[in-house]
Amino acid sequence: MVCTDIKSVVVGEAGAGKTSLSAHFCLGQAPDNPASTVGASFLQKRMNLPDSDEEVCLQIWDTAGQERFRALAPMYYRGAKAAVVVCDCTNMESFRRVASWIEDLQSFADENCAISLAANKIDKVASSGEVEGSEEGGEGGEGGFDMAEAEEIARKYNVPLHTTSAFTGEGVEDLFMSLIANALGNSSAAAEAAAAVAAVASSNGGDGGRSDGEGGGTIRLEGVGGGVNGGEGGGCC
């Protein structure tokens, strides 16, 4: 049975719930009192792909959000095929710093990296759209959670937006499963483009169809559309 490793990173401001989201997906529940991550922590989950005999091992590097660790983050981004930028629904400032996290990923992660935006702690947001228990100008930031602003950021950078709760589990499975699907799809498209370039080069008397672009290490999965083998460690399969 073929197993494909996907290296992913989870980034965002300190306290946004990155560790809890990752743990809920991999372990089925979030820790009661998660400590602040120092540098980065590592989790992985092996699963069967829907409607397929293939397996995927999602390797999750949960990075620290504190400013003093920011310079170390690119070390974990390199080779990442998927990434989640996490922001806190109860803190609008975390939304306003999303752009810098996405731009860092675009600079240092794989050029075909699938990026998703997770608006976490949605369980703390009332149906009215304001943070429960907060008044205008309070912790929620200028009246609380602003979904419209989050959607605008997602449109600007062309990334999917998910609302999640690491506490209740709402949206967590959908976030990571769609991330896996996007990473596989991006890798497949890159591999097909590289193959097309190689074919053209070969027909024009090139160097035998060799392409120096990324995607040459991609494994195509039957019935899934594509796969990646770019994760570091590769220890789960």
Asked whether residue 30 is domain-assigned, the answer is: yes
pLDDT at 96: 82
pLDDT at 1: 64
Asked whether residue 172 is domain-assigned, the answer is: yes
Asked whether residue 152 is domain-assigned, the answer is: yes
What angle, rounded to 10 degrees, do the helices at 147-157 and 98-108 form?
20
Give the separation between CA 66 and CA 15, rounded to whole angstroms: 9
pLDDT at 125: 80
CATH value at residue 26: 3.40.50.300
pLDDT at 68: 53
pLDDT at 205: 59
Asked whether residue 225 is domain-assigned, the answer is: no
Asked whether residue 235 is domain-assigned, the answer is: no
Q: In 131-164, which positions are buried (b, 16+ CB within 10 angstroms) versus exposed (e)?
A: beebeeeeebbeebbbeeebeebbeebebebbbb
How many independent structural domains does the chain possess? 1
Asked whether residue 44 is domain-assigned, the answer is: yes
Q: What is the DSSP letter of 68?
A: G
- Helical H segments across the chain, by residue range: 18-27, 73-77, 92-96, 98-108, 147-157, 172-203
Q: In which domain, by residue range, is 146 found?
A: 3-184
The residue written with tokens 């997906």 in the block is 25
Asked whether residue 194 is domain-assigned, the answer is: no
pLDDT at 103: 94
Averaged over successive runs of 10 residues, the pLDDT of the chain (237 residues) comes to: 89 91 91 62 87 87 68 85 94 86 93 96 69 40 66 93 95 96 83 64 53 35 34 47
